[in-house]
């Protein structure tokens, strides 16, 4: 197979929409992944959700979509997608701040030379801060596995929120579950 054919096949594989498969599929795929991989993958899935929602809002992109979302394009980075999603009112200011933190978590996970886990103080603090205010106290002092599960739960609820598919209910359920898990 030629390089071009292989590249196209990889792009098709990368563009599989996990939302179509459901939250349970996303979560089950993450079970055997390292903390670093969980953060990178969920960050990427959420970035893809933002891209799809931006595409829905910007109907005049016919013929220019690829260059618009290309790395050097207007919405080529996670950061620019977050900014654009806020400007298009896809997300609110609080979600923007949380997504900027997730972006930093993903960048740290992708580029750090040492092992990145939820047991590292920096990542533990970031995961708690990433959570909605109502869940943060319950996450403080959680065992690492419960913190990881809470992070995954919040991310899957945020995916539903961005996707516009019952996100408010999903986030409220996630918060309730985290509060129960965090109860001694």
Q: Where are the domains of the chain?
A: 24-181
The CATH superfamily assigned to 24-181 is Nucleotidyltransferases  domain 2 (1.20.120.330)
Task: Tell me the whole-structure pTM to 2 decimals.
Answer: 0.86
Backbone angles phi, psi at 11, to 5 degrees: -65, -40
Position 16 scores a pLDDT of 67
Position 23 scores a pLDDT of 66
What are 147-158's pLDDT values in tens digits? 999 999 999 999
Position 19 scores a pLDDT of 61
Residue 175 tokens, joined? 């918060």
Position 55 scores a pLDDT of 87
Low-confidence ranges of the chain (pLDDT < 50): none
Residue 178 tokens, joined? 């985290």
Tally Cβ neighbours within 10 Å of residue 58. Answer: 15
Contacts for 118-121: CB closer than 8 Å, 24+ residues apart? 118/35, 118/144, 118/147, 118/148, 118/151, 119/144
């Amino acid at each position: 197979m030629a390089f071009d054919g292989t590249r196209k096949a990889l792009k098709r594989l990368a563009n599989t929409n996990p939302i179509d498969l459901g939250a349970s599929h996303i979560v089950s795929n993450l079970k055997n992944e390292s903390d670093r991989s969980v953060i990178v993958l969920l960050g990427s899935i959420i970035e893809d959700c933002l891209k799809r929602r931006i595409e829905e809002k910007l109907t005049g992109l016919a013929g220019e979509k690829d260059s618009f979302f290309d790395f050097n394009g207007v919405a080529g980075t996670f950061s620019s997608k977050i900014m654009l999603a806020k400007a298009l009112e896809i997300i609110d200011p609080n979600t923007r701040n949380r997504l900027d933190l997730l972006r930093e978590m993903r960048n740290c996970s992708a580029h750090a030379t040492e092992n990145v886990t939820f047991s590292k103080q920096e990542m533990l603090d970031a995961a708690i801060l990433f959570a909605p205010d109502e869940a943060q106290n319950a996450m403080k002092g959680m065992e690492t596995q419960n913190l990881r599960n809470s992070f995954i739960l919040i991310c899957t609820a945020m995916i539903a929120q961005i996707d516009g598919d019952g996100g408010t209910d999903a986030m409220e359920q996630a918060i309730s579950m985290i509060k129960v898990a965090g109860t001694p």
